[in-house]
Amino acid sequence: MSAKVWLVGAGPGDPELLTLKAVRAMGEAQVVLIDDLVNPAVLEHCPSAQVIPVGKRGGCRSTPQAFIHRLMLRYARQGKCVVRLKGGDPCIFGRGGEEAEWLAERGIEVELVNGITAGLAGATQCGISLTQRGVARGVTLVTAHTLDGSSPEWHALAKTGTTLVVYMGVSSLQQVQAGLLEGGLPATTPVAMIENASLPQQRECRSHLGAMCTDATTFQLKSPAILVIGEVAAQAVTQVLSQIA
């Protein structure tokens, strides 16, 4: 076992959606830094590791990124095997790339492990096929929340013919709605708002672009949630979901 930092995607919440590689990395870990969107149930795979919560809800009130960098570096330089566990996929709105670069620049061995990102999981769990043949020619993952506070190009996104999957959109529903309507997407375009995807408390609110804000208010939509916008969002393939108790 050599000093190394694994940047691991823990998936959207359901512990059965972990990859085998994530489980192996956790099994090797001596130190685990865990984000707040990670389901703590996955920690059963690293019973002997020191676990450090580094998320807002983990009691640290949004641990500054620089501090997380230094923590990973410190433990790696002590020769420890470190796992940085992130919700979903580490490289989808997860700063995995930034952290990998920062560590690699300091000579630390890094390995990235994919996780199932919330947008893809949420859609599938609700029976939505994001790239249904003949309905959507692709899928666009986009965040409503940018580092510099600027808005995504909703007008342009309205014209892509792809299903839009919006992350971090709960507090920006009005901007999303207004931008896409102004961009020419019809008010009747189906929208699915999926909260706590893949967890037992998963909830979904089906609506359409013209009504999504009022429907979300009535539904009391809360973060974490993803929005699926496009014709496929009307789909709901009936399925029976199973989870480990």
Residues in contact with ligand SAH by the rule CB under 6 A = 12-13, 37, 86-89, 92-94, 117-118, 122, 167-168, 194, 196-199, 223-226
**Residues 6 or more apart from 117 whose CB is under 8 A from it?**
9, 12, 88, 89, 92, 141
Q: Closest residue to ligand SAH, Cβ-based?
A: 88
Q: Which is nearer to ligand SAH, 31 or 37 (CB)?
A: 37
Q: Which is nearer to ligand SAH, 80 or 83 (CB)?
A: 83
- Taking the complex as a whole, how short is the minimal distance between the CB of residue 167 and ligand SAH, in angstroms? 4
Please give the radius of gyration of the chain, using alpha carbons only, rounded to the nearest integer. 19
Q: Which of 21, 36, 168, 215 is catalytic?
A: 168
- Taking the complex as a whole, how short is the minimal distance between the CB of residue 93 and ligand SAH, in angstroms? 4
Q: Which is nearer to ligand SAH, 13 or 179 (CB)?
A: 13
- Taking the complex as a whole, how short is the minimal distance between the CB of residue 116 and ligand SAH, in angstroms? 8
Q: Among this protein's residues, is 168 annotated catalytic?
A: yes
Q: Among this protein's residues, is 35 annotated catalytic?
A: yes
- Taking the complex as a whole, how short is the minimal distance between the CB of residue 1 and ligand SAH, in angstroms? 27
φ, ψ of residue 126 to 5 degrees: the values are: -100, 10
- Taking the complex as a whole, how short is the minimal distance between the CB of residue 206 and ligand SAH, in angstroms? 15
Q: Which is nearer to ligand SAH, 80 or 190 (CB)?
A: 190
Bin 187: left if φ > 0, else alpha if -120 < ψ < 50, else beta. Answer: alpha
**Residues 6 or more apart from 122 whose CB is under 8 A from it?**
12, 194, 197, 198, 202, 226, 228
- Taking the complex as a whole, how short is the minimal distance between the CB of residue 73 and ligand SAH, in angstroms? 22
Contact 196, 202 (CB under 8 A): yes
Report the C-alpha gap between 47 and 8 in whole angstroms: 17
DSSP 12-36: SS-GGGS-HHHHHHHHH-SEEEE-T
Q: Which of 4, 35, 80, 193 is catalytic?
A: 35
Neighbours of 105 (CB within 10 A): 8
DSSP 105-135: HTT--EEEE----HHHHHHHHTT--TT-TTT
Place of tokens 């995995």: 96
Q: Among this protein's residues, is 56 annotated catalytic?
A: yes
Q: Which is nearer to ligand SAH, 80 or 226 (CB)?
A: 226
Q: Which is nearer to ligand SAH, 63 or 80 (CB)?
A: 63
φ, ψ of residue 226 to 5 degrees: the values are: -120, 155
Provide the annotated active-site residues: 35, 56, 168
